[in-house]
Amino acid sequence: MKIGVLGSGVVGQAIASALIEKGHSVMLGSRTARNEKTDLWVKENGARALQGRFADAAAYGELLFVALKGEHALDVIRGLDAAQTEGKTIVDITNPLDFSKGMPPQILEGLGNSTSLGEQVQALLPGSRVVKTLNTVNYKLMVNPVAVNGGDHNLFLCGDDADAKMQVKKLLADNFGWKPDLLIDLGSIQSARAIEAIVPFWVLIYRSLNSPLFNFKIVH
Ligand SMILES: NC(=O)c1ccc[n+]([C@@H]2O[C@H](COP(=O)([O-])OP(=O)(O)OC[C@H]3O[C@@H](n4cnc5c(N)ncnc54)[C@H](OP(=O)(O)O)[C@@H]3O)[C@@H](O)[C@H]2O)c1
């Protein structure tokens, strides 16, 4: 499958490399058509690794991941042509974090109470099918859940389109090894408010454990 990854940071690169290992072709998108970081990534990941601007990656992928710096994410999304994302499933990993006031981070002003990044991405690209997930785990765990507790822990997802959520669940299971019965569907994209809001709590646990390799496990 052709996949576009908007975001060339550690998250975008981890997702893109893992997908290439599974046989997909991936375009990693950034602000510039190429740069030192993406040149190196392409060199290290072989013939199925491509690079381009955010809009190139959006147009290239049959399915898209969004892993952008939270404070700039909506500007990047606004810059896309809606036709580039029409009918596509978009996996949104972005967190609306504001680190400017110290640790733990706050949720960016205006996001979190009556809306969320996930909802805003969906609203800006109404023809797409946004699924919020993976934002509550460290990037290493996203593509290798077995690294913690043998993979026995939970991942949350939400989105308005049932078929897109099924597609993403299968993608997470087939490519990254997430156990399907441990993926918890929290309903419509509005639930992104809660899924994004637990990230400052995640940061507190990270500071306390002094390791990013942990996750939530819901027992009942
Ligand atoms: N790190 C983790 O383990 C983790 C876990 C869960 C969720 N997340 C979330 O995943 C997202 C990506 O995180 P990350 O650590 O990989 O990278 P990041 O540094 O948060 O974001 C990198 C991306 O943001 C773009 N960007 C930066 N400044 C920009 C600007 N002024 N205008 C437009 N785009 C800009 C960069 O563009 P260029 O490509 O041009 O440099 C790059 O593609 C974040 O929202 C983060 O909160 C991270």
Report pLDDT digits (tens) over 101-137. 998 999 999 998 899 999 999 999 999 999 999 999 9
Helix (H, G, I), strand (E, B) or coil at 111: coil
Question: Looking at 2-6, 101-105, 216-220, which range is the least confident one?
Answer: 101-105
Ligand 1 mean position, distance from CA 7 (Å): 6
Arithmetic mean of pLDDT, 43-69: 98
> Can you give the C-alpha Rg of the chain in angstroms?
16
pLDDT reported for residue 75? 98
Q: Is the peptide bond before 104 cis (omega within 30 degrees of 0)?
A: yes
**pLDDT score recorded for residue 112:** 87
Q: What is the mean pLDDT of the chain?
A: 97
Candidates 60, 44, 63; CA nearest to 52 is 60
Tell whether the model's pLDDT for residue 146 goes beyond 90.
yes
Q: Which of 8, 13, 32, 68 has most ligand 1 atoms within 8 Å of CB, for mutation?
A: 68
Phi and psi torsions of 106, nearest 5°? -95, 165
Quick one: angle between helices 10-21 and 36-45, nearest 10?
20
Residue 179 has pLDDT above 90, yes or no: yes
Which whole number is the average pLDDT over 188-194? 98
Q: What is the mean pLDDT of residues 151-176?
A: 98
- Mean per-residue pLDDT, 65-75: 98
Q: Return the residue whose CA atom lies nearest to atom 17 of ligand 1.
A: 9
**Residues 142, 121: Cα–Cα separation, whole Å:** 21
The finding on whether 97 has its CB within 6 A of some atom of ligand 1 is: yes
Give the three-class secondary structure for 133.
strand
**What is the biggest distance separating any 2 CA atoms in the chain, rounded to whole angstroms?**
48
C-beta of residue 81 within 8 angstroms of C-beta of residue 89: no
Q: What is the pLDDT of residue 13?
A: 98
Q: How far is the CA of 67 from the centre of ligand 1 (A)?
A: 6
Strands (E), 134-206: 155-159, 183-185
- How would you label 94-114 residue by residue, b for 16+ Cβ within 10 Å and e otherwise? bbbbeeeeeebbebbeebbee
